[in-house]
């Protein structure tokens, strides 16, 4: 869904946005987010700002995936499945790196062999751990060997696998250790200040028939601004042109500011309340199904969506996004019934209430809303709102009973990009259900779509029925940007800046 918050001068309360004409004349797009990017490369970052936004400006993948899910040639002109564990790609022979060196098959071989080696420690191993090796068939034909059948391979290859120049990480593992901090994308890196800013500039040598199109800006500049209020002040004063993930209460006053466009758009990112079923010191009440049911019945998800989260969000009844292959839209029918929740707690022996620990890593307001509903039925929640790394550490170290989590699947339209991160008996798996893990593993390795769907449906239903996760809602992303900018958002939460332009162009 796409919701436009119409600009109204009556709501502006005297606020005026500074004109963006100066930046238009310089043809520089300036944007900001809270993420401090510690490295420029797209493989050793958890932040979407590095993996998708800057990553797709500087680097290219073999294949390009459109917002409609179609695959188009990029660095590869054609591709085919040789068998269920072998892909072959015919590579372009007319592409150059930003330093003028030609792109060759050796670059692609190096990239896939480097990222698939577990010793190199790519951050999200599930994005690469199905790759066995890459090799040359001839000078322009790349063969990608998989460890096992993986039907979703093209989703990852077309979205997350940026091709790097041969030797990019050198012997140190540092980006550009070979002296070539370059890509083949429409923009080349001009400046990188760790944790602070990135500047990329239009690459004149970009190939004209790329589906990304030729660069529309002379430069794109990213700055880290940890405080959202400061981001908004910068946007209103003309210091930046585009911000995102604006809290609803801070976005609303901007909706009436002349020269500012505000939109709240649904994304593939879903929230879930993850229940810990592992043994814990002092006992773990979440191991009791009645307690998990009580938790679910206690929460009024629709009211949280309507009154706290706002436009662009919908309640979900399945632990996946509806368009992902393998997802079932209505895997649970649990609603809001606090009296039923209290009765279930009493049946479980907690008629006088109970105490639990919960962590989250997104919104304090959302976390407090969930904790408030649980308190109303006698569940006293000690909640910690942390960054992702620290919240995950508490899960891995078995220190919490619940986690209000979320996952955006990196825009990959397959359930494997979501559930396989949390239910395959890894340290992130708080359920440790061997049957679910086996179903997900089998589905990920099965070529037949009907057989895959059967395994995924089993896993999705088990996760929902046993309340390993209680599905919560989809995430909206609220964007605010200069009305001089032509920008279109997409559910995969991937702002395609290479397709944005000034409105009068």
CATH at 322: 3.10.105.10
Q: Is residue 388 located within the same domain as residue 412?
A: yes
Contacts of 440 (CB under 8 A, 6+ apart): 416, 419, 420, 423, 424, 455, 456, 459
Q: Is residue 230 located within the same domain as residue 87?
A: no
Does residue 89 form part of some domain? yes
pLDDT above 70 coverage of the chain, percent:
94
Q: How high is the pLDDT of residue 93? A: 97
Last residue of a domain, one of 182, 212, 236: 182
Q: How high is the pLDDT of residue 52? A: 65
Q: For the residues 423-435, what does the mean pLDDT come to?
A: 97
Does residue 51 form part of some domain? no
Last residue of a domain, one of 182, 209, 243: 182
Q: How high is the pLDDT of residue 7? A: 32
Strands of 151-295, DSSP E: 187-193, 197-202, 219-224, 242-244, 260-275
Q: For the residues 262-281, what does the mean pLDDT come to?
A: 97
Higher-confidence residue of 299 and 46: namely: 299
Sign, Cα dihedral of 460, 465, 466, 471: positive
Per residue in 96-143, pLDDT (tens digit) is: 999 999 999 999 999 999 999 999 999 888 899 999 999 999 999 999
Q: Is residue 349 located within the same domain as residue 421?
A: yes
Q: Is residue 84 located within the same domain as residue 137?
A: yes
Per residue in 272-284, pLDDT (tens digit) is: 999 999 999 999 9
Q: What is the mean pLDDT of the chain?
A: 92
Which residues span the domain enclosing 171?
60-182
What distance separates the 2 farthest-apart alpha carbons in the chain?
Answer: 72
- With beta carbons less than 8 A apart as the criterion, state whether 124 and 388 touch: no
Q: How high is the pLDDT of residue 17? A: 54
Does residue 283 form part of some domain? yes
Higher-confidence residue of 24 and 363: namely: 363
Residue 18's pLDDT band (cuts 50, 70, 90): low
Q: For the residues 299-304, what does the mean pLDDT come to?
A: 98
Does residue 155 form part of some domain? yes
Is 2's pLDDT higher than 80? no
Q: How high is the pLDDT of residue 120? A: 94
Q: How high is the pLDDT of residue 11? A: 33
* Integer Cα distance of 73 and 78 in angstroms: 6
Is 3's pLDDT higher than 50? no
Q: Is residue 71 located within the same domain as residue 219?
A: no
Does residue 48 form part of some domain? no
- With beta carbons less than 8 A apart as the criterion, state whether 469 and 319 touch: yes
Angle between helices 449-465 and 434-444 (to 10 degrees): 150
Is 22's pLDDT higher than 80? no
Q: How many domains does the chain have?
A: 3
Q: For the chain, give percent helix, strand, coil, nearest 5.
A: 30, 25, 45
Last residue of a domain, one of 182, 215, 238: 182
Q: Is residue 321 located within the same domain as residue 431?
A: yes
* Integer Cα distance of 117 and 169 in angstroms: 13
Is 466's pLDDT higher than 80? yes
Is 19's pLDDT higher than 70? no
Does residue 231 form part of some domain? yes
Q: Is residue 87 located within the same domain as residue 2?
A: no
**pTM recorded for the entire structure:** 0.80
Stated length of the chain = 505
Is 433's pLDDT higher than 80? yes
Q: For the residues 205-221, what does the mean pLDDT come to?
A: 96
* Integer Cα distance of 128 and 263 in angstroms: 34
Does residue 8 form part of some domain? yes
Q: Is residue 367 located within the same domain as residue 276?
A: yes
* Integer Cα distance of 105 and 139 in angstroms: 7
- With beta carbons less than 8 A apart as the criterion, state whether 268 and 67 touch: no
Q: Is residue 326 located within the same domain as residue 359?
A: yes
Task: Give the number of other Cβ atoms within 10 Å of residue 442's Cβ.
Answer: 16
Q: How high is the pLDDT of residue 261? A: 97
Residue 13's pLDDT band (cuts 50, 70, 90): very low
Does residue 49 form part of some domain? no
Is 5's pLDDT higher than 70? no
Q: Is residue 303 located within the same domain as residue 394?
A: yes
Higher-confidence residue of 9 and 281: namely: 281
Phi, psi angle pair for 384, to nearest 5°:
-125, 125
Residue 504's pLDDT band (cuts 50, 70, 90): confident
Report the CATH number that the domain containing residue 213 is assigned in CATH.
Answer: 3.40.190.10
Q: How high is the pLDDT of residue 24? A: 66
Q: For the residues 47-69, what does the mean pLDDT come to?
A: 86
54-68, 314-328, 365-379: range with lowest mean pLDDT: 54-68
Burial 337-347 (b: 16+ CB within 10 A, else e): ebebbbbbbee
Residue 199's pLDDT band (cuts 50, 70, 90): very high
Q: For the residues 54-63, what does the mean pLDDT come to?
A: 93
Q: Is residue 292 located within the same domain as residue 382?
A: yes
Burial 30-43 (b: 16+ CB within 10 A, else e): bbbbbbebebbbbb
Q: How high is the pLDDT of residue 15? A: 47
Per residue in 405-414, pLDDT (tens digit) is: 999 998 889 9
12-21, 367-376, 389-398: range with lowest mean pLDDT: 12-21
Q: Is residue 233 located within the same domain as residue 286?
A: no
Is 200's pLDDT higher than 70? yes
């Amino acid at each position: 869904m796409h919701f436009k918050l119409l600009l109204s001068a009556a709501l502006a309360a005297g606020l005026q946005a500074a004109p963006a004409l100066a930046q238009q004349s310089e043809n520089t797009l300036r944007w900001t987010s809270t993420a401090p990017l510690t490295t420029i490369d797209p493989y050793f970052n958890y932040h979407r700002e590095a993996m998708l936004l800057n990553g797709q400006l500087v680097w290219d993948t073999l294949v390009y995936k459109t917002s409609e899910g179609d695959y188009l040639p990029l660095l590869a002109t054609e591709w085919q499945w040789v068998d269920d564990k072998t892909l072959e790609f015919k590579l372009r022979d007319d592409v150059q790196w930003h330093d003028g060196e030609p792109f060759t098959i050796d670059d692609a071989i190096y990239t896939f062999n480097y990222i698939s080696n577990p010793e190199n420690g790519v951050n999200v191993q599930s994005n690469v751990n199905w790759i066995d090796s890459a090799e040359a068939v001839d000078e322009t034909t790349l063969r990608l060997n998989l460890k096992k059948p993986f039907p979703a391979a093209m989703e990852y290859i077309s979205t997350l696998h940026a091709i790097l120049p041969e030797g990019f990480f050198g012997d140190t593992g540092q980006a550009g250790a070979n002296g070539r901090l370059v890509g083949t994308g429409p923009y080349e890196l001009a400046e990188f200040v760790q944790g602070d800013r990135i500047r990329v500039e239009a690459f004149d040598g970009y190939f004209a028939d790329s589906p990304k199109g030729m660069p529309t800006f002379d430069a794109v500049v990213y700055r880290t601004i940890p405080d959202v209020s400061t981001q908004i002040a910068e946007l209103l004063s003309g210091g930046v042109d585009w911000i995102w993930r604006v809290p609803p209460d801070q976005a609303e006053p901007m909706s009436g500011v002349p020269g500012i466009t505000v939109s709240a758009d649904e994304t593939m990112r879903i929230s879930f309340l993850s229940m810990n079923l592992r043994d814990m010191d002092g006992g773990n009440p979440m191991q009791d199904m009645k307690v998990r049911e009580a938790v679910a019945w206690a929460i009024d998800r629709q009211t949280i969506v309507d009154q706290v989260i706002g436009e662009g969000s919908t309640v979900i009844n399945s632990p996946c996004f509806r368009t992902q292959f393998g997802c079932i839209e209505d895997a649970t029918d649990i609603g809001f019934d606090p009296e039923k929740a209290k009765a279930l707690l009493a049946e479980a022996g907690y008629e006088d209430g109970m105490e639990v620990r919960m962590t989250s890593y997104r919104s304090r307001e959302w976390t407090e809303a969930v904790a408030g509903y649980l308190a109303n039925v006698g569940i006293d929640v000690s909640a910690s709102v942390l960054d992702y790394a620290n919240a995950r550490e508490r899960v891995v170290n078995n220190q919490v009973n619940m986690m209000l989590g979320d996952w955006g699947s990196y825009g990959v339209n397959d359930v494997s990009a979501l559930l396989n991160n949390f239910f395959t008996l890894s340290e992130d798996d708080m359920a440790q259900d061997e049957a679910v893990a086996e179903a997900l593993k089998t589905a990920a390795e099965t070529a037949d779509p009907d057989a895959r769907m059967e395994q995924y449906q089993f896993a999705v239903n088990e996760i929902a029925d046993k309340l390993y996760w209680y599905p919560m809602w989809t995430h909206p992303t609220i964007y605010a940007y200069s009305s001089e900018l032509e920008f279109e958002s997409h559910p995969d939460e991937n702002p395609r800046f290479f397709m944005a332009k000034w409105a009068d162009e």
